[in-house]
């Protein structure tokens, strides 16, 4: 199901006062390919398709986006999408009974010593039971 207002989100780039830049970045390439940039880490860039599906690219060109199949990585991308774009709050994962608290942040969603880093829990303070961080 398409994300309501998806094109409007894409059209919001470049965003005024963007502290990390936009021109000639992975985010500009994602938008050019019709993908909503979410975040990047040391290895991959993550985005959402018009249908709300998480995808990733191992390079910054987005020439061949790949579906994100790892359950834990999908969880983090959806958590970050909901955090970064208020209109995507419905994508925020819901905690279920038995979902453990994150041992990295002790359930706070933040890494105290590194406030600008995204915790492995995606900032929610927990992660889905049985999910692994393994390969993308």
Helices of type H across the chain: 6-11, 26-32, 71-84
pLDDT (0 to 100) of residue 134: 55
- Residue 119 CB burial class (10 angstroms; 0-12, 13-18, ≥19): buried
pLDDT tops 60 at residue 73 = yes
C-beta of residue 64 within 8 angstroms of C-beta of residue 107:
no
Q: Which two tokens stand for residue 40?
A: 């990047």
pLDDT tens digits, one per residue of 24-47: 899 999 999 999 999 998 889 999
Higher pLDDT, 51 or 16: 51
**In this structure, how many other beta carbons lie within 10 angstroms of the beta carbon of residue 67?**
10
Rounded to a whole number of angstroms, the distance between the first and last alpha carbons of the chain is: 24
């Amino acid at each position: 199901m398409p994300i309501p207002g998806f094109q409007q989100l894409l059209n919001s780039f470049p965003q005024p006062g963007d502290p990390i830049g936009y021109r000639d970045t992975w985010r500009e390439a994602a938008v050019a390919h019709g993908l909503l940039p979410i975040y990047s880490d040391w290895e991959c860039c993550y985005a959402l398709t018009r249908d709300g599906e998480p995808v990733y690219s191992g390079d910054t060109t987005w020439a061949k986006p790949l579906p994100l199949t790892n359950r834990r990585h999908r969880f983090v991308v959806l958590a970050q999408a909901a955090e970064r774009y208020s209109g995507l709050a419905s994508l925020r994962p819901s905690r279920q009974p038995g979902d453990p608290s994150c041992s990295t942040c002790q359930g706070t969603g933040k890494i105290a010593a590194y406030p600008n880093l995204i915790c492995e829990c995606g900032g929610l303070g927990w992660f889905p039971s049985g999910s692994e961080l393994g390969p993308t």
